Structure 1
Amino acid sequence: MKQQAITPESHPPATEFSLRLSSTRRGARLARTLAVQQLTEWCGLPHDSDPARTVALVTAELASNAITHGHLPGRDFRLTLRLLPHALHIEVTDTRPDRLLPSPPPTPTDATSGRGLLLIDAYANRWGCTVRDAYTKTVWAEVTLLETAPAP
């Protein structure tokens, strides 16, 4: 199969999107939905394309980790998306800088959770964690925007 780069439309109105969302399951679902919607608007991709599905999965895992491990009562998390030439940069900023993320931990095969970082590691080109101040932590990932084109 031939790899085809997906580029944004000629003059997108903006290449950055940022929004605060509630640190709830509903906020995490909304983050996933908004990330896919923004990607499709910027790049003209269908919602069911491989890049859109990957963005949905990575965003869902980052947001889920933020509400599960990075939540303080009454504090929101922030979703930030940046369109790069051949990738989407996804950031989720939470309120627990004291809980840095390690490398993906080994998870027992019968565990019902604990695979989020493994999924991010598998689907993102690169990812990491940044602490910019004493109040927040940002976990980020970059997803390549390559669509597999059908063979001629």
Structure 2
Amino acid sequence: MKDLDLVVPAPGIPEVRLTLLAVPSTVVLARELVRYALTNWGFDREVINDSTLVMSEMVTNAVAAAHGRQLRLRCALQDGTPLLECWDPSPDLPAPSTPTPMAESGRGLAIISAYAKETGTRPSATGEGKVIWALMPT
């Protein structure tokens, strides 16, 4: 596996995929993937910023769940609305928590839910791991 593998389907297909390693620096690449796709698809700054934040939180959780293993990211359009997906090989579902006011982590799922129109988790098509997804408002 390459550390970085970007797939852009044929012209006219609104989808961009990225495969990379689950390490902390991956979060930056995930944000840039979303920014690249949504900018090219003509979304406004607010949708782009909110979507990059949501993808950051999804990837941060995936890095914690599958550190050093492979992640797959996808940014697509579903009925003209941004759909963000993050696959990781861990079968463990992210669990909501109630962090203390000074805690440095534990707010990711709340942030995702606050910014996304819909969110969810599904098993991967291969049966290994899970996909966390968020449908963003426009």
Q: Which TM-score band applies after superposition, normalised by the shorter structure?
A: 0.7 to 0.9
Q: CA deviation at 1:59?
A: 0.6
Partners of 1:142 and 1:63 in 2: how far apart? 15
Amino acid at match of 2:76: R
Aligned equivalent of 1:108: 100
More moved, 23-32 vs 129-138 = 129-138
Q: CA deviation at 1:26?
A: 1.8
Amino acid at match of 2:40: E
Question: Which of the pair has the greater relative contact order for Cα pairs under 8 Å at 6+ separation?
Answer: 1
Q: Give the alignment of 1:3-152 within 5 angstroms.
A: 13-42=12-41, 44-45=42-43, 49-69=45-65, 71-73=66-68, 75-97=69-91, 99-102=92-95, 104-132=96-124, 133-145=126-138
Q: 8 Å contact 1:127–1:140 — kept in the other structure?
A: yes
Overall identity of the aligned pairs, in %:
31
Question: What stretches of structure 1 move > 6 A for 4+ residues in a row?
Answer: none
Q: 8 Å contact 1:130–1:138 — kept in the other structure?
A: yes
Q: 8 Å contact 1:72–1:95 — kept in the other structure?
A: no
Q: Report the count of equivalent residues.
A: 127
Partners of 2:17 and 2:135 in 1: how far apart? 16
Label 1:76 to 1:109 Cα distance change in 2 as closer, same or farther (>3 A). same
Query: What is the TM-score normalised by the length of structure 2?
Result: 0.84
Tell me the alpha carbon deviations over residues 126-148 of structure 1, each in whole angstroms, 9 at most, x when there is no partner.
11111134422111111112xxx
Which runs of 5 or more structure 2 residues have no equivalent in the other structure? 1-10
Amino acid at match of 2:130: K
Query: What is the TM-score normalised by the length of structure 1?
Result: 0.76
Question: What's the Cα RMSD here?
Answer: 1.6
Tell me the alpha carbon deviations over residues 13-65 of structure 1, each in whole angstroms, 9 at most, x when there is no partner.
221221211111222210111111111111x245xx10010011001001111
Partners of 1:72 and 1:105 in 2: how far apart? 20
Q: CA deviation at 1:84?
A: 2.0
Partners of 2:38 and 2:84 in 1: how far apart? 11
